[in-house]
């Protein structure tokens, strides 16, 4: 973003990825919405920059992006899209028993906990690995764009992802295998 205000440009360069991540996570994993929210957040900052100067700009950006994303998510969760050809709901596949349904929900909870453990472990081990995995596999951003966001070449991103995946396999393979054997 190029403006006549050098200080604003520095803030933008420093916090654009943070605002995008916050917007993405709180908007319900919608990358297009996250980009729009990021743009709106920085537009709000630009228009009120003189009043915010000297304050906690990083927390203002975080809070503004989070609230905008939550408002977006709330608004679009209420929308019900219908298709003319979809007048009658299709029969949903049923599970064989309540026990199967319960076991499946328990397995999903355990998977969620394992994923949280992996992400927090990645963050502790190497924040760059965490960021790369988050952008490419969680946010599903194309690798070329993720490399650009991280400020590295595509080859370096591939190396980061390779090392991160090897570390995840080394640290969590046993738990993952045990969880999948119970199915």
Residue 23 domain flag:
yes
Which of the 8 DSSP states describes residue 80? -
Residue 11 domain flag:
yes
Same domain, 33 and 61: yes
Same domain, 15 and 56: yes
Same domain, 46 and 106: no
Residue 163, pLDDT score = 94
Residue 113 has pLDDT above 50, yes or no: yes
Tens digits of residue pLDDT in 143-166? 998 898 889 999 999 999 999 999
Residue 1, pLDDT score = 46
Residue 27 domain flag:
yes
Q: What is the mean predicted confidence (pLDDT) over 57-63?
A: 86
Domain extent, residue 48, equals 6-78
Please state the domain count of the chain.
2
Residue 161, pLDDT score = 94
Tens digits of residue pLDDT in 83-109? 555 554 555 555 567 887 888 888 888
Whether 60 contacts 45, CB under 8 Å: yes
Say how many C-beta atoms besides its own lie within 10 A of residue 169's C-beta.
Answer: 10
The contacts of residue 53 (CB under 8 Å, 6+ apart) are: 7
State pTM to two decimals: 0.46
């Amino acid at each position: 973003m190029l403006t006549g205000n050098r200080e604003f440009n520095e803030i933008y360069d420093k916090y654009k990825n943070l605002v995008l991540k916050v917007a993405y996570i709180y908007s319900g994993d919608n990358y297009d919405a996250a980009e729009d929210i990021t743009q709106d957040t920085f537009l709000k900052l630009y228009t009120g920059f003189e009043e915010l100067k000297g304050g906690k700009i990083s927390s203002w950006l975080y809070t503004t992006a989070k609230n905008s994303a939550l408002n977006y998510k709330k608004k679009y969760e209420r929308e019900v899209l219908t298709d003319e050809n979809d007048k009658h709901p299709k029969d949903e596949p049923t599970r064989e028993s309540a026990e199967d349904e319960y076991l499946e929900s328990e397995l999903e909870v355990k998977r969620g906990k394992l994923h949280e453990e992996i992400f927090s472990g990645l963050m502790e081990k190497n924040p760059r690995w965490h960021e790369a995995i988050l952008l490419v596999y969680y946010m599903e951003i194309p690798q070329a764009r993720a490399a650009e966001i991280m400020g590295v070449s595509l080859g370096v991103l591939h190396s980061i992802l390779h090392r991160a995946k090897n570390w995840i396999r080394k640290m969590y393979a046993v738990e993952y295998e045990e969880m999948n054997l119970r199915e």
